[in-house]
Structure 1
Amino acid sequence: MLQIDLWKRVAIWLTIAAGLLLALPNGFYTRVEAHNDANTQIELGITNAQVEADASLWPSFLPSGLVNLGLDLRGGAHLLAEVKVEDVYAARMTATWPEVVDVLRSERATFGTIRLQDSAPDELVVRIGEEAGVPRALELVRGLARPVVSLTGAGASDIDVRAEGNNIIVTLSEAERLATDERTMQQSLEIIRRRIDEVGTREPTIQRQGAQRILVQVPGVGSAQEVKDIIGTTAQLTFQPVVGRTGSADADAGSSANEIIPSLDEEGVFYILERTPVVTGEELVDAQPAFDQNGRPAVNFRFNPTGARKFGDYTAENIGSPFAIVLDDEVISAPTIQSHIPGGSGIITGNFSVEESTSLAVLLRAGALPAELTFLEERTIGPELGQDSIDAGRIACLVAFAAVLFFMFLSYGLFGLFANVALIINVGLIFGLLSLIGATLTLPGIAGIVLTIGMAVDANVLIFERIREELKTAKGPARAIELGYEKALSAILDANITTFITAVILFAMGSGPVRGFAITLGLGILTSVFTAIFVTRLLVVIWFERRRPKTIEV
């Protein structure tokens, strides 16, 4: 008997209603987008008349999820950057110097003088006065080696130590370089992602390409330079002891352990600082824009427990001494330590505007890039080009849609109309699911939807042709319809499961546009099977129950 239980009918109609309701905001894209942006600003504490007006553009009780438009549809910036991992090697060698000099000073009588020599950035050269002490120096410095923290470098040490005459030369081992490269790339990816997320950009594409390159695609921004300004700033913060001040950048720093850094606020003033910082920005856990006691913009900061302990110990031991706060190789402030600062919190003051203090807080909160980025490629895709792509995709969808509707009506008459209604519901469900998961729609994604429109009727064609065959065996219309759906089910599932597996493989193995195509294709297969097996059958059953025809023509 041709029938569908009441609970199944209710479930089908509720599923359709939920899917179409989720897709509804995409029909009012500009209005809903302004509403969502306004709500984001309100959550950040930014309110004014315009923000409140935008927030009221869309009812709060309706869904407000949108299908995000990709770079090729919305316009935006495309950047390809290379990470200079060599910078990390140099930083590691600089950080190793205090450990080396401390361990050698423990037996200074054996080594005589201990001096840091000029060397390549990725190596540390220490000269000792007594050549007879070289073997003992090698033994002590090698004792500083630690195991490499990586799966591929298990059992290896992080440094190689060798001697050339009176010089002890320390370099990173090959296993440690590989592990450092991997950590540097992962850290760079995460920091770039956090910086872009801080400014509220929708659905950026940030992924690794090759060994040392990162691809960044940010839809909706006006130019590639905007993105470079966000991610290109290293925001490397250090707190370094002050040795002295000078009026020339070429002045003798007095020791290779010192460096000369210009002042940001005082023109023509340079500070001589110890190279090894007391605390770095990597030990910051929070930074927020604020105002100092004079009402000038500033930035409050807070260290993690390790940084707090080092910061507190240094301030306790150096009361009355100046202490430089260095940001990106410029001294932004050099206050005198007035008292012990426990707790690991403080304030950065300088000649900031409110915008600059806010931007600095964002950069510090996101963390410092571990190495410099070199931009190898940058492109700005204008919104006009994106709109052209949207228009072309819309035309393609409408042409495919109209052709399929016309074909189904000519081929199957009234049953073709049922299939057409299901097809319209199918497209709505696709956009509802895309909105629900926050997917990004690209040109290949539109191609996936067009392909889905063509494939969506395949299941109905199988069912209707099977019903035709059953009618030829002189069975009644009710029995023919029931057998048509039952016997076509296995073929429908086989065809769609194999295509869905292909979509899953494309998503897992592909990237960027390929994934966009795979997402829309996979979701389209799910909705197509649902509409073909359940929706068209429900429509046919409702029609049959009302008309009770003695014969039917498919």
Structure 2
Amino acid sequence: MNLKWKYILIAVITILGILGVKFLPLHKGLDLQGGMHLILQVKADEAIKADRDRIMDALKEIAKKSDITIDTAEPEEQTSIKVKLADIKQENDFRKFIKAELPAWNLESNPVPGTFVIKMLASEENAIKDQSISQAIEILRNRVDEFGLTEPLVQRQGLRGDKAIIELPGVDDPARVKKILKETALLEFRIVLDFDMSRDSLIARYQGKLPEDSEILLAEPIKTSPEQAQDQQKEAGYYLVKKSSPISGKDLRNARRGTDNYGLPQVDFEIKRDSTNTFGKFTSENVGQRMAIVLDKKVMSAPNIQDAIYNAGRITGNFTPQEAEDLALVLRTGALPASMEILEERTVGPSLGKDSINRGFFASLLGTILILAFMTFYYRLAGINAIVALSLNILIIFAVLAYFEATLTLPGIAGIALTIGMAVDANILIFERIKEELALGKTVRSSIESGFSRAFTTIIDTNLTTILAAIFLYMFGTGPVRGFALTLTIGLLANMFTAVFVSRVIFDTFVRERKTLTLSI
């Protein structure tokens, strides 16, 4: 490639770099613009228990279809159910039934005649865990998207980990964000069987043995206005409700904030088309009864069913406008399969982020000025060559970050500072090789060719080994580490272009075009 095409290539790269830096936004990380960093753990064991309870609750009905009568089914351990048959003569039939109808479960033991312990297979347990974690992260991503933030990050930590990493730039209400992300938002509609202000009184009413397929749930506190409480048909206390819920939050098509007859916030919801008949049948069969609207095992309201409901409804409660908006948000995005626990939390304010930018910029600028001053003083005009190459290197780094919408972080600025040092190191290596060749009495042109040739392999090896290390840091690291690895990799790739190619073009220009016989180095 002759000098003309080399000039064109350098000019194109320079112009593209300037355009990218000038007209494209540079995305800044949490530590530079402020925001919130969270690591949440999915309690996958809850999803396993939920699946066990689902099988346990449905076991009697499923077995009845095979003419097997189950007396009791109760949890034994997290992944096992203790089953007692009504007729001991059905033991063999029950074994065949489990093998045919519940392939993911295994008969673990038969402690006494007519009693069995069935246990979930390890493969099924692992599958439920993995599915619940993947589903939870997807739901978290949907909830984060509802905030309308720029460049949020939601990802799984590790290939099979049970933790989610969430980075939210520009968050101004961390408490609200944590509440929304942690809320399970499991919505159910259940028939009310009884109510009492006291849990103990409610249990005593049934002589300590509650009706089958029922449980007691706590009600939300009443509103301050008696008229509002009367309109909502809701009281503080305890509700005895059926366990079964024909539809749940997954059957909702949409949810949004609305207002009730008193102008107070409520949540209006719409039912999916394929669930309207189910909801209509459920409500038409229970006209005149109270239906508890249950959110995360807590009764939000319990209105009377006055007529069949098919496609829409409302949730009233002691909501502020923001709470109603947030509840609608989590209902739209779906219920988490298990609860979440915050393991790590970091919040960076905008002022601290700005201070980090100023300090990082000042440190990098000071280091660059000192390096350039040294190069000019020690290598004279050849030092100007290094300054041009280094300036183009920095331009390429910021242009690549802008073009590929990468995020610049404070460790990323440290990576740029390290790149500057390594870029100058490559120039120094080349210059010293040229000086050695000149000391041997070679011509300027021959010294330049030999200097670049001898230094080329060393520069490539040094940069490539460092790039390999940076790639591993990016693959297995998190937030700050990845930011450092990213800018370091971009800088080293740019360095191999500027130190070897651009710097050589500058030398060749002065030697070949101006017929230079001496070299200021």
TM-score (norm 1): 0.76
SS in 1 for 2:47: helix
| Residue 260 of structure 1, aligned match among 208, 216, 224 | 216
Aligned to 1:16: 14
Distance in structure 1 (CA, Å) of the matches to 2:16 and 2:105: 57
In structure 2, the gaps of 5 or more residues are 223-233
Aligned to 2:97: 140
Aligned to 2:226: none
Once the two structures are superposed, the pairs formed by residues 111-190 of structure 1 within 5 Å of their partners are 111=69, 114-117=71-74, 123-146=80-103, 157-158=104-105, 160=107, 162-165=109-112, 166-190=114-138
User: Is 1:208 aligned to residue 157 of structure 2?
Assistant: yes
Distance in structure 1 (CA, Å) of the matches to 2:196 and 2:44: 32
| Residue 331 of structure 1, aligned match among 293, 299, 318 | 299
Q: 1:214 to 1:425 in 2, by over 3 A?
A: same
Amino acid at match of 2:123: A
Over the matched positions of the two proteins, sequence identity in percent amounts to 33
Distance in structure 2 (CA, Å) of the matches to 1:140 and 1:415: 86
Aligned to 2:430: 463
Distance in structure 2 (CA, Å) of the matches to 1:219 and 1:161: 50
Distance in structure 1 (CA, Å) of the matches to 2:15 and 2:271: 50
Aligned to 2:190: 240
Q: 1:87 to 1:514 in 2, by over 3 A?
A: same
Q: Contact 1:103/1:140 (CA < 8 Å) preserved in 2?
A: no
The alpha carbon displacement at 1:119 in A equals 6.0
SS in 2 for 1:86: helix
Aligned to 1:41: none
The alpha carbon displacement at 1:301 in A equals 3.6
Q: Contact 1:240/1:326 (CA < 8 Å) preserved in 2?
A: yes
| Residue 325 of structure 2, aligned match among 343, 358, 369 | 358
| Residue 68 of structure 1, aligned match among 7, 28, 31 | 28
Q: Contact 2:215/2:243 (CA < 8 Å) preserved in 1?
A: yes
| Residue 225 of structure 1, aligned match among 135, 154, 175 | 175
The alpha carbon displacement at 1:303 in A equals 3.5
Once the two structures are superposed, the pairs formed by residues 340-379 of structure 1 within 5 Å of their partners are 341=310, 345-351=311-317, 352-379=319-346
Deviation per CA, 1:264-322, whole angstroms, max 9, x where unpaired?
A: 462335443221222232454654445689986533344385x5664466457656665
Distance in structure 2 (CA, Å) of the matches to 1:135 and 1:524: 71
Amino acid at match of 2:322: E
Once the two structures are superposed, the pairs formed by residues 77-88 of structure 1 within 5 Å of their partners are 77-88=36-47
SS in 2 for 1:298: strand
The alpha carbon displacement at 1:480 in A equals 5.2
SS in 1 for 2:293: strand
Distance in structure 2 (CA, Å) of the matches to 1:459 and 1:89: 57
The alpha carbon displacement at 1:429 in A equals 2.0
User: Is 1:272 aligned to residue 240 of structure 2?
Assistant: yes
Aligned to 2:478: 511
Amino acid at match of 2:143: R
Q: 1:321 to 1:226 in 2, by over 3 A?
A: closer
Once the two structures are superposed, the pairs formed by residues 390-429 of structure 1 within 5 Å of their partners are 390-429=357-396
The alpha carbon displacement at 1:233 in A equals 1.3
The alpha carbon displacement at 1:171 in A equals 3.7
SS in 2 for 1:255: coil
How many residue pairs get aligned? The number is: 497
In structure 1, the gaps of 5 or more residues are 25-61, 147-156
Once the two structures are superposed, the pairs formed by residues 473-484 of structure 1 within 5 Å of their partners are 477=444, 481=448, 484=451
Q: CA RMSD in A?
A: 3.7
Aligned to 2:146: 198
Q: 1:542 to 1:367 in 2, by over 3 A?
A: farther
Distance in structure 1 (CA, Å) of the matches to 2:285 and 2:9: 72
Distance in structure 2 (CA, Å) of the matches to 1:486 and 1:309: 79
Distance in structure 1 (CA, Å) of the matches to 2:163 and 2:517: 70
Q: Contact 1:333/1:348 (CA < 8 Å) preserved in 2?
A: no
The alpha carbon displacement at 1:214 in A equals 4.5
Q: Contact 1:12/1:534 (CA < 8 Å) preserved in 2?
A: no
Amino acid at match of 1:144: E
Amino acid at match of 2:246: V
Distance in structure 2 (CA, Å) of the matches to 1:11 and 1:362: 51
Aligned to 2:460: 493
The alpha carbon displacement at 1:23 in A equals 2.9
Q: 1:457 to 1:158 in 2, by over 3 A?
A: farther
User: Is 1:299 aligned to residue 268 of structure 2?
Assistant: yes
Distance in structure 2 (CA, Å) of the matches to 1:340 and 1:486: 82
Distance in structure 2 (CA, Å) of the matches to 1:434 and 1:450: 15
Q: 1:3 to 1:471 in 2, by over 3 A?
A: farther
Question: Which stretch shifts more, 535-544 or 370-379?
Answer: 535-544
Q: Contact 1:409/1:416 (CA < 8 Å) preserved in 2?
A: yes
Distance in structure 2 (CA, Å) of the matches to 1:317 and 1:348: 19
The alpha carbon displacement at 1:503 in A equals 1.7
SS in 2 for 1:5: helix
Q: Contact 2:33/2:354 (CA < 8 Å) preserved in 1?
A: yes
The alpha carbon displacement at 1:449 in A equals 1.5
SS in 2 for 1:363: helix
Amino acid at match of 1:229: K
Deviation per CA, 1:182-227, whole angstroms, max 9, x where unpaired?
A: 2223333333333234324444465437965555554544675344
Deviation per CA, 1:322-375, whole angstroms, max 9, x where unpaired?
A: 54432122333445273463xxx5343324554333212221233222222234
Distance in structure 2 (CA, Å) of the matches to 1:517 and 1:401: 18
Distance in structure 1 (CA, Å) of the matches to 2:312 and 2:64: 34
Q: Contact 2:152/2:169 (CA < 8 Å) preserved in 1?
A: yes
Amino acid at match of 1:175: S
The alpha carbon displacement at 1:455 in A equals 0.5
Aligned to 1:89: 48
Amino acid at match of 2:300: I
SS in 2 for 1:114: strand
Question: Which stretch shifts more, 535-544 or 412-421?
Answer: 535-544
SS in 2 for 1:143: helix
The alpha carbon displacement at 1:409 in A equals 0.9
Q: Contact 1:159/1:170 (CA < 8 Å) preserved in 2?
A: yes
Deviation per CA, 1:41-95, whole angstroms, max 9, x where unpaired?
A: xxxxxxxxxxxxxxxxxxxxx32x2232244x55554545443333223211221
Q: 1:481 to 1:241 in 2, by over 3 A?
A: same
The alpha carbon displacement at 1:262 in A equals 3.8
Q: 1:142 to 1:272 in 2, by over 3 A?
A: farther
Deviation per CA, 1:91-117, whole angstroms, max 9, x where unpaired?
A: 112211343111332365x64x73455
The alpha carbon displacement at 1:417 in A equals 1.0
Amino acid at match of 1:350: T
Q: Contact 1:203/1:440 (CA < 8 Å) preserved in 2?
A: no
Q: 1:12 to 1:294 in 2, by over 3 A?
A: farther
SS in 1 for 2:3: coil
